Amino acid sequence: MSKTLVIYLMAGPDTPELAEAAVDGGADIVEVGFPFSDPLADGPVIRRAAEKALAQGMRTRACLDCLAAVRGRVDVPLVPMTYSSLLEAYGWEHFADDARSAGASSLIVADLPAGDRPGLRRIQLVAPTSTDERLRLAGEQTDGWLYLVTVTGTTGARAGLSTALASLAERARVAAPHVPLYAGFGISTPADAAAAAELTDGVVVGSRALEAAEDGPAALRDLVRSLRDRVDSG
């Protein structure tokens, strides 16, 4: 079965064009970051991108507009990824409703762990530190797929694939047998992506995608294509 490739982009003026390039290169799902001033789960690349986006005025409404514009350009599922403070300010359910109206198929809230606000349908994250009990809870509550955080750490490139992923994926399979598992955090090279995809059902590439996006849609398309090719060739 073909593996799923998820590409993360930060909301901004160029995002619709970049999303189109990513899908053109073979992305199956696009995550759209709604920037937050104090993103605890993020490493330097996404932090810088968030700071830049906020300076460009990418507040919640502008991000929702951006999401709708992306929706107008691509047909793949779109998933906003953000932090609790934005939902707190906007209204939790209201945010989810408006994101869906703008074309989102689900939602990721990086600092809202499984168990909290179960009524808010979202993709749950699990980590190497998660207990089996928490893996089960996240598997039950997640919306569509489970996001496997490959490292004990923040987002951003690492030298090589985390050794923690294999055991996390194995435990998650048992705890959530019918849920697709996509691995993210620290996956930057085609080789890492292929290795992670071996163990799971898909991979998420974020920081590396943002770096490529800095060089424009063509560079992003090339990166995504190289990830796609390696993941597909196993």
Partner 1 sequence: MPDTYGAYGGRYVPETLVPALDELTAAWEAALADGSFRDELDVLATSYAGRPTPLTLAERFAPDKRLYLKREDLLHTGAHKLNNALGQAVLARRLGKQRIVAETGAGQHGVATATVCARFGLDCVVYMGSEDMRRQRPNVERMGLLGAEVRPVEFGTRTLKEATSEAIRDWITNVETTHYLIGSCVGPAPYPAIVRELQAVIGREARAQVLEAEGRLPEAVVACVGGGSNAIGMFAGFLDDEDVEIVGVEAAGAASLGTGRAAVLHGSRSSVLADEDGQITDAHSISAGLDYPGVGPEHAYLRDTGRARYVGTTDEEALDAFRRLTRSEGIIPALEPSHALARVSELDAALIVVCLSGRGDKDLAEVLGRGE
Binding residues for partner 1, per CB under 8 A? 36-38, 40-41, 43, 47, 51, 54, 59-61, 83-90, 110-114, 116, 124-131, 134, 138, 149, 152-154
Closest CA to 208 of 22, 16, 13, 1: 22
Q: How far is the CB of 127 from partner 1 (least distance, A)?
A: 4
Question: 2 or 129, CB closer to partner 1?
Answer: 129
**CA distance to 10, 87, 89, 153, per residue, from 71 (Å):** 15, 21, 24, 31
The tokens 């996001």 sit on which residue? 147
Q: Based on CB atoms, which residue is closest to partner 1, 12 or 190?
A: 12
Among all residues, which ones are annotated catalytic? Answer: 31, 42
Q: Least distance to partner 1 from the beta carbon of 18, Å?
A: 23
- Maximal CA-CA distance, the chain: 45
Complex with partner 1: residue 2 or 131, whichever CB lies closer = 131
Q: What distance in Å separates the CA atoms of residue 158 and residue 182, rounded to the nearest whole number?
A: 17
Nearer to partner 1, 75 or 133 (CB): 133
Residue type, 76: V
Distance in Å, CB of 13 to partner 1, minimum: 18
- Measured between alpha carbons, how far is 44 from 3 in angstroms, rounded to an integer? 28
Q: How far is the CB of 137 from partner 1 (least distance, A)?
A: 10
- Minimum gap (Å) between residue 201 Cβ and partner 1: 19
